[in-house]
Amino acid sequence: MIRVVLIDDQALMRAGFRALLEAEDGIEVVGEASDGERGVALVRECMPDVALIDVQMPVMTGIEATRRIAADPRLGGVRVVILTNYGLDEYVFDALRAGASGFLLKDTEPADLLHGIEIVARGDSLLSPSVTSRLIGEFVSRPPDRATAPGLETLTRREREVTALAARGLTNEEIAEHMVISPFTAKTHVSRAMTKLGARDRAQLVVFAYESGLVAARNATP
């Protein structure tokens, strides 16, 4: 059973999400909150698998709520999915930097919402290759800020390469083909890089690649 918390200031939106999720076998909505501050308290109380959090709310924004959840060691098993009306914009990048595992548009298809929750609940990030590529197109042109991305020196050459490839949106299978290694070896390199960097999931590798300069310019080759 996947336990979900809904955090959104619009009661109608929460009701719609609850009705959709509770109609699905294997998903249980364990709580709702109407602002970020109450949402963080609710997550600490309920310990859900997934928190669906609106990006803009009163009292505390969804990004700040995400940051607090990600920073709490007791909530290491909670995955945050940001809900947004805005698509790929600065909010999305800030949410990923804060610790979100991915994002969904509020007008997404119901099947995509359910599938996304399942993806995040099993520990993967909700960032398809196409979404990751578009994020890079929007944000990697900014100057790197290595001060906010410590840990580059801990990665081996192979681990740096797989991190950069993951940030370009490649799957483990595509990384394996690019590097002429097995998919298992590619997955191992990705996992080791995540462990060394303290990344919660693959989405955090994307953020690290931006911050460290591994992905240094628009459409750059790592």
Q: Tell whether the model's pLDDT for residue 93 goes beyond 80.
A: no
Q: What is the pLDDT of residues 105-162, one digit of tens each?
A: 788 888 888 888 888 887 776 665 555 555 655 555 555 555 555 677 888 989 999 9
pLDDT for position 148: 52
Q: In Å, how far are 11, 36, 45, 50, 217 from 167, measured between CA atoms?
A: 36, 29, 34, 23, 12
Q: How many helices (H) and strands (E) does the chain have?
A: 10, 5
Q: Which residue has the higher pLDDT, 133 or 31?
A: 31
pTM over cut 0.75: no
pLDDT for position 132: 55
